[in-house]
């Protein structure tokens, strides 16, 4: 079971806990990144320009149950809500497009 007990900020160690929306610095990336979603054990971040606007847009799209093609990592926010037969259809469409471009 996960320990979700409150911890004082002063007691946190580097990478001890990351909250969705938190800004993170990566040594191999220029500028800050922002944690978009925790997908299982994977932490998905937004990188690059306009991360605040993109972050807000991703969460508004999630609220509206919309997938944003320009933000592929946003799909991880909705993937659990998509029925398996629809995921298979999307997979087939994407495979076809990839093989014909």
How far apart CA 79 and CA 98 sit, in angstroms, is 20
Report if residue 69 sits inside a domain. yes
Report if residue 35 sits inside a domain. yes
Report if residue 9 sits inside a domain. no
Report if residue 86 sits inside a domain. yes
Q: What is the DSSP string of 18-62?
A: --TT-EEE-TTSSSEEEEEEEETTEEEEE-SS-HHHHHHHHHHHH
Report if residue 2 sits inside a domain. no
Number of domains in the chain: 1
For residue 23, the enclosing domain spans 15-99
Report if residue 29 sits inside a domain. yes
Report if residue 48 sits inside a domain. yes
Q: What is the pLDDT of residues 14-27, one digit of tens each?
A: 666 777 888 888 87
Query: Which among 12, 41, 10, 14 has a CA at the least distance from the CA of 27?
Result: 14
pTM of this prediction exceeds 0.85: no
Report if residue 7 sits inside a domain. no
Edge-to-edge strand ranges of the sheet holding 32-39: 23-25, 32-39, 42-46
Q: What is the pLDDT of residues 55-77, one digit of tens each?
A: 999 999 999 999 998 998 888 88
**8 or 35, greater pLDDT:** 35
């Amino acid at each position: 079971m996960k320990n979700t007990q409150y911890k004082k900020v002063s007691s946190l160690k580097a990478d001890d806990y990351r909250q969705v929306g938190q800004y993170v610095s990566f040594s191999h990336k220029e500028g800050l990144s922002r944690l978009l979603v925790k997908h299982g054990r994977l932490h998905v971040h937004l990188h690059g320009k306009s991360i605040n606007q993109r972050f807000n847009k991703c969460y508004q799209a999630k609220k509206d149950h919309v997938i944003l093609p320009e933000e592929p990592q946003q799909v991880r926010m909705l993937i659990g809500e998509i029925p398996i037969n629809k995921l298979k259809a999307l997979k087939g469409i994407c495979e076809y497009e990839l093989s014909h471009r």
